[in-house]
Structures are given as C-alpha cells and as structure tokens.
Amino acid sequence: MDATDGCVDALTWKEFGEEQLGALTELAEACLAADGGLPLFVRPALLRARLLQTRTLGAWHDGRLVAAVGVGLGTQPAGSTGMVHPGWRGRGLGDRLLDWAVEQAGDAALLLTTESWSPGAERLFVARGFERTFAEWVLRYDLAALPDVSPPDGVRTGPVTRESGPELFETYRASFADRPGFRAPEAQEWLGELWDDDGYRPDLSLIAHGPDGAAVGFVNVVDNWIDQVGVVPGWRQRRVGAYLVGTALRSLAGDGAGEAWLCVNDDNPAAVLYRRLGFGDAGRRARYLHRRS
C-alpha cells in the first residue's frame, strides 16, 4: 500500500475489538517489515495485551486497517500502544492517534509502548513532550552458523531442574543485584512465573559452576529466545556469558531451530558480547512517558 492509494478524508475512524484481530495482525506485520522490532508483537497474546485495551480507535480505508491505538485505563500511568501503516505515514494519522490517547488518559500520566520502534515515532513523541524511559535492541541469530566458544577453565554447566530452582534464583539475584534500580522479586514468584511459562526450556537452560562448585552464571531459554543471561560479579570478563550463550545456541540448533532471538537494553554492555558472537540488529522497542503537570 502506498500513501497515494487513498485520501485521509476518506478514512473511517471507529472502535475495534477482538473480531478485528486479523486486521491488527496484518497492520503489525507491515510495521515490523518496515521498522523491525519484537517479532512476538504479531502473536495474538501480545497484540491483545497492547491494542485490545479499555478504549480503542482505528482508521480504515477500503476495508483495511491502516492505523490503530489502544489505551488502557484504571492504572497510573495509563498505557497505550499505536501503529500507523508505513504507506500512510507522514499524513497526520500518528498525531491524531496520539491526541486521542492523551485525551482518553485524562488526568493520568500516559506511558506509550512501541514494540516496533521507528525514528519518526520518536520524533513525534519527543515533540509532544514524551520522555523516553526505556529502549532495547532486538537481536537475531542465524543458527546456520554457530559460534565456537571454549569453556572457561574450571567451569562446568548443567541443565536446570526443579531441584536446582533455588540455586538458579540465587544466581540470578547475585548476577543482577548491582544493576541500578534492581529489586529482587520473591524466589517463589520468580520461579513460579518461569515454570508456568509453556515455552520455558529447562533442558536447554543452564547453570554454570566454578571449580569450587559455586554457581557463577546462568542462561534461561524460552522457546527460541535467550531470555536471560547473568554472570556473578567475580566471574565477569572470563567468557562465562559467552560460553553460556554459545552453548544455548548450539542446543537450539540441535533441537531444530533456525534462528534465535534476544533483547538487550541500550545501556547494557553485554550488547557488545552478543554482536561479537554473531547476533544482528533486528529493530528496537521502547517506552515513553508523558507526565501530567
């Protein structure tokens, strides 16, 4: 679809719901193809969570959804996600969606989430007084070529089991405790969410142990995603993280996966490691906050 295919005046603006999930999927696929971003965005669960919120507004042209926004109310801040088809950008649709979302939020602050980031969206949000509060890269690995990372001296790895759950949590907590703003959840809560995830692969997830048997790092695999990687402070810069990720990639390839994915925060130095291993940029995702005065 090209921007010349229709006139903005010919658009029909109306609420959408579950019955338009297919149209939302098409729109999300078009945005991902143009901008990159989180591939999970086109799956029903995340589309519902982001777009099918308390209030919705979509723009239709010749039976096709070309722009959409959802606003979730009743929380502080209110939450919103919007999309504009690449062929319809630059014609004021994003401004209209944003105006409407701010109006729906009322006196509440508004948090915008974009799973398919674009420079144009950032310019719009910043110009309208939104502050970027979070951004991360989406990285993809082609499993046709695998990294060869030798194990660090004295380090051995083993798969995650129910019995090793408490050790996994303690390794996670120790690995992330020095990050700014980190607040450890309860062990039961964290482990419960992990084991309740249908995509969690404990057989491919690993805990690394040093020569004295103490845990020094871990990697969690969910579906074909490297979901979390952590190394305790005393063992950083010793190839533990690279070895854990490389081993998980080889296991995914051996399990038949053709690609692997991960997300890494803009300010996380591990991004250098992942790109060195062969991960390539596949887009970004971000959040922006507008505080009411």
Task: Write the pLDDT tens digit of every residue in 164-215.
Answer: 999 999 999 999 999 888 898 999 999 999 999 999 999 999 999 999 999 9
Quote the Cα angle for 161-268-146, to 5°.
60
Q: Decide if 52 contacts 70 (C-beta within 8 A).
A: yes
Q: Residue 288 CB: number of other CB atoms within 10 A?
A: 23
CA 222 to the chain's CA centroid: 13
Q: Give, in order, the Cα–Cα distances in Å from 124 to each of 94, 127, 268.
A: 8, 5, 26
Specify if 264 maps to a domain.
Answer: no
Q: Which of 7-11, 97-101, 278-282 has the lowest mean pLDDT?
A: 7-11
Which residue type sits at 219?
Answer: V
Is pLDDT at 18 greater than 80 in this prediction?
A: yes
Specify if 15 maps to a domain.
Answer: yes
Task: Write the pLDDT tens digit of every residue in 261-293.
Answer: 999 999 888 999 999 999 999 999 999 999 876
151 lies in the same domain as 128: no
Task: Report which secondary-structure segment, H or E, holds 27.
Answer: helix 21-35
Query: Per the structure, how many domains does the chain have?
Result: 2
Is pLDDT at 91 greater than 80 in this prediction?
A: yes
- CA dist 114 and 138 (Å) reads 12
Extract the tokens encoding 243. Answer: 């070895």
Query: How many Cα atoms sit within 13 Å of 106 on the Cβ side?
Result: 7
Residue with tokens 């029909």: 12
Q: Give, in order, the Cα–Cα distances in Å from 262 to each of 102, 123, 228.
A: 32, 26, 8
Specify if 272 maps to a domain.
Answer: no
State the pLDDT at residue 180. 83
149 lies in the same domain as 216: yes
CATH code where residue 240 lies: 3.40.630.30
Beta strands of the chain (E only): which ranges?
Answer: 12-14, 55-61, 64-72, 78-84, 110-114, 131-142, 156-159, 206-209, 215-222, 225-231, 259-265, 280-290
155 lies in the same domain as 194: yes
Burial of 17 (0-12, 13-18, 19+ CB in 10 A): exposed
Extract the tokens encoding 215. Answer: 């845990």
3-state helix/strand/coil string of 97-147: HHHHHHHHHCCCCEEEEECCCCHHHHHHHHHCCCEEEEEEEEEEEECCCCC
Specify if 176 maps to a domain.
Answer: yes
100 lies in the same domain as 38: yes
Specify if 275 maps to a domain.
Answer: no
14 lies in the same domain as 112: yes
State the pLDDT at residue 8. 77
196 lies in the same domain as 132: no
Burial of 268 (0-12, 13-18, 19+ CB in 10 A): middle
Domain that holds residue 163: 145-257
Q: How confident is the model at residue 7 (pLDDT cuts 50, 70, 90)?
A: confident
State the pLDDT at residue 103. 96
Quote the pTM value.
0.92
Q: What are phi and psi of 110, to 5 degrees?
A: -125, 125
69 lies in the same domain as 159: no
